[in-house]
Structure 1
Amino acid sequence: MDKLTDYSTDYIVITEDHDLNQYCDSWKNKPYLALDTEFMRTDSFYPKVALLQVSDGERNFLIDPLSIADWEQFIALMLAPEITKIFHSCSEDLLVFIRQFGLLPSPVFDTQVANAFLNQGFGLSYQNMVSEQLGIDVPKGETRSNWLQRPLSAQQLDYAALDVAYLPEIYLRQKEALAAMNKLVWVEEDCQRLGNNYKEELAQDFSQTYRNISAAWQLDEEQLVILKVLAEWREKRARHRDKPRNWIIKDKELVTIAKSIPENIEQLSQIEGLNTNFIHYEGRALITLIQDNLNIDAEKLPEALPRPLSNGQKKIFKKAQLLVEKKAGELNLPIEVLGRKRTLISVFQEILKLKSSATEELIDVDKMNLPDELLGWRKEILVEGLLEVLQ
């Protein structure tokens, strides 16, 4: 197909509550709505929402969240089970919805996910997807512009509208192609699972954030207790001050504190990397937190985290990767879609943990704590084979 150049698109800017409610009434009868967001997040913990884009397949709408106060009808649409919400690469957009509305839109269809299942590119950008599927070039010039400025420029508004204008057409094409390949149910399942990444965010439960610190495996159980409470403290502090986590204190410094377990400000000040201002303003709170979590009951100690794979284990793990590669080829799927390396490693580590305490030689899959990603359709296709190889 010859490539077209079409930088113009019609859109309606919504800045009044009554206008938004009027359009929400018309969207109630739509089977789908395409959505996108523009936000700023250069020096803050939370995204600062600047614009919400909607396409109903006929017209495009740009909603100014800085002017709207009444979101009740819009929120109802975002939760309406009969209306599919179409995004492209929705992870950051979902964070915006949680921040702005305290909810996750549902049901969600992510065209980037669908594109991968069609084996048309894993992690493909919106611009490249539109170019390849529709032959239309979408400009990227306003990506880094100031979206919180008012008024927004005509170039910004055009760019924002184009970010949703082509999603309905692509969604319909993808849905038809996936149904013909018997993969539509798989995509819908994976898209709904995207929301699982935000359970802690919605519940405001940060007790497990320490597990995201890469060096946490180096710590014993008593040190992990300290890292656990420090990571939770940092998470709450970053949110309260609306600053990035590492602006409060870096992962490396949290691990060093947890290893050394300082008893007073003097010992804390000797830890490399901590600046004097941090110690002055936060030091006493940290020392109190540490002291309050020493000598806790054994049953309350967090379980030691899995160590990186040894050289011998890596050889076994390579066989699992080859199995995934073979299965992916048979299903005409990218390897990353069927089983990401991080997911496979977590399965192997779970098997190693169970085998270390099991009396039986073989592990029963039903006794395993599988990652969400390996439940559903992947469990039937992949998990039994993985167990056979990894055991």
Structure 2
Amino acid sequence: MTVLYLDTPVGLLDFCQQIQNSSWLAVDTEFLREKTYYPQLCLIQIANDDVIACIDPLAIDDLTPLFDVLYQPKMTLVFHAARQDLELLLMHRQQLPDTIFDTQLAASVLGLGEQVGYGNLVKTVLNVDLDKAHSRTDWTARPLSTAQLDYAADDVRYLRSLYHQMQQSLTELNRTHWLADDFAALSDPQTYQADPETIWRKIRGAGKLKPRQLANLQQLAAWRERNAIQRNRPRRWILKDDVMLDLARFAPDSLTKLSQIRGLEPRDIDRHGQAILDVLEKASQIPKADWPVMLKPEPLTNQQEALLDALMALLRQFCDEQAISPAAVATRKDIEKLVRGETTIPLLKGWRKQIVGRKLQAFLQGKLVIHADAKQLIINEVE
């Protein structure tokens, strides 16, 4: 099938008229994020059963005709690992499509692997080896070669077949409804919005700081996030994580002391030095009662560890019965939270609760008992 390369408004409009009556469309994007906070959209690949197109957003200023088609109420958009593609759509349209199908999520409930890559999924399901020669392409460079466009088109060429086969498998196994909550989360704008006030919790190493130092880190991280958004620059270009941790730990109060922070370059001090000092001064005024806390749960007791091991064995047993990878349902940390009595965890929502979560709860409530023979676990309900 010939791949259309669309780089004019007229060509885009003609294509949109051709696909507007589709009930579904396979979608992928190429973007660059190395030098910006927000991803720069470089190419959009679209396909249905009849046509494949690569649309050049660097050449076409107004993508409204395309978005009008993608956002039709009854249109299903098919992605693989949809989050970054949807983030781009949200940026450009300020809303998200209503109906989404993600083949990576579908793979997890079909026993094809947790967070499986597109190439591996195509190989497993379709027995096709994808060309990886252009995986490091600079998608901002023009012109794009025929080989580069074919490589990009493969991301939707085989997505069509994956969609059809996985839809059929989900229907046959009566698992289509399992994915409703996961797909709905992808359509929620809150999924893609970073909160400057809580972004500090994602910084590796924050758990080693004292509460006073965490207050510094919270203010520094919020300042960096707003600065990165305003300037559209990567966070690390504003302030690296390890430097920010040292700033939070030592709280320098002068430009001279700032210069003693390892990794903080003179140009960084010239550009941001006074702003950093102002942020740290603001943090020093936060009352002790308002210092953030990195909650560290108490270690599990020996009995709780034994219970955790039993629940992990049950998890594997129940997932084996459904031919699903246990990692797609719950991690050991999820099970640990269950042992601690937490209820707001993915394991106790949607399809995960139906096939495993409620059974693990039943075991904790004494409603299931387990014993074994030489080959397997045997699970019985308590009468």
- Normalised-by-shorter TM-score class: 0.7 to 0.9
Alignment TM-score, normalising by the size of structure 1: 0.82
Equivalent residue for 1:121?
113
Quick check: 1:30–1:83 contact (8 Å CA) kept in 2?
Answer: yes
Per-residue Cα deviation, 1:282-305 (whole angstroms, up to 9, x for no partner)? 121111112113243456443433
Distance 1:78 1:229, change over 3 A: farther
Give how far 1:157 is off: 1.4
Go from structure 1 to structure 2 and tell me whether the alpha carbon gap of 1:287 and 1:322 turns closer, same or farther (over 3 Å shift).
Answer: farther
Contact 1:115 1:122 in 2 (8 A): yes
Alpha-carbon distance, 1:104 to partner = 3.2
In structure 2, distance between residues paired with 1:218 and 1:155: 49
- Shift of the 195–68 alpha-carbon distance from structure 1 to 2, 3 Å rule, reads same
Q: Structure 1 pair 285/344, CA: closer, same or farther in 2 (3 Å)?
A: farther
What residue ranges of structure 2 are gaps of 5+ in the alignment?
A: 366-383
- 1:110 pairs with 2:140: no
Deviant stretches of 4+, over 6 Å: none
Asked whether 1:206 is paired with 2:180, we answer no
Determine whether 1:324 maps to 2:318.
no
- Determine the C-alpha separation between the residues in 1 that align with 2:313 and 2:262: 43
Q: What letter corresponds to residue 270 of structure 2 in structure 1?
A: H
Kindly indicate whether the alpha-carbon contact (under 8 Å) linking 1:50 and 1:147 is maintained by their aligned counterparts in 2.
yes
User: What is the aligned-residue identity percentage?
Assistant: 30
| Aligned mate of 2:2, from 2, 10, 30 | 10
Counterparts of residues 1-391 of structure 1 (less than 5 Å): 9-195=1-187, 199=190, 201-202=192-193, 205-297=195-287, 300-306=290-296, 309=299, 312=302, 317-344=308-335, 347=337, 352=340, 363=341, 368=343, 370-371=344-345, 374-384=348-358
Structure 2 CA distance for aligned equivalents of residues 317 and 216 of structure 1: 27
Letter in 2 for 1:256: D
Whichever residue aligns with residue 19 of structure 1, its letter is G
Residue type matched to 2:226 in 1? K
Check whether the contact 1:319–1:389 (CA below 8 A) recurs between aligned residues: no
Pairwise CA distance, 1:51: 0.7
SS in 2 for 1:231: helix
1:260-295: CA deviation from partner (whole Å, max 9, x where unpaired) = 233333333333332222223212111111211324
Bigger mean CA deviation after superposition, 333-342 or 121-130: 121-130
Q: How many residues align?
A: 364
Question: What CA distance in whole angstroms lies between the structure 2 residues aligned with 1:267 and 1:307?
Answer: 35
**Structure 2 SS opposite 1:12:** strand
* 2:29 match: secondary structure: strand
Report the CA distance between 1:52 and its aligned residue: 0.2
Residue 33 (structure 1) shift:
0.4
| Residues 301 and 189 of structure 1, relative CA distance in 2, 3 Å threshold | same
Distance 1:316 1:295 in 2: 45
Give, in angstroms, the shift of residue 221 of structure 1: 3.3
Letter in 2 for 1:287: L
Tell me the distance in 2 between the aligned counterparts of 1:341 and 1:95: 29
Is the Cα contact below 8 Å between 1:217 and 1:307 reproduced in 2? no
Opposite residue 109 of structure 1, the aligned amino acid is F
Q: What's the CA shift for 1:341?
A: 3.9
Cα distance in 2 for partners of 1:81, 1:342 equals: 38
The unaligned stretches of length 5 or more in structure 1 are 1-8, 353-362
Q: What letter corresponds to residue 89 of structure 1 in structure 2? A: A
Contact 1:49 1:100 in 2 (8 A): no
Corresponding residue SS for 1:52: strand
For residue 375 of structure 1, what is the amino acid of its counterpart?
K
Instruction: Give me the whole-angstrom Cα distance separating, in 2, the residues matched to 1:269 and 1:319.
Output: 53
Q: Distance in 1 between matches of 2:71 and 2:306?
A: 46
* C-alpha distance after superposition, 1:286-334 (max 9, x if no partner): 1111211324345644343335856856665444433322221222211
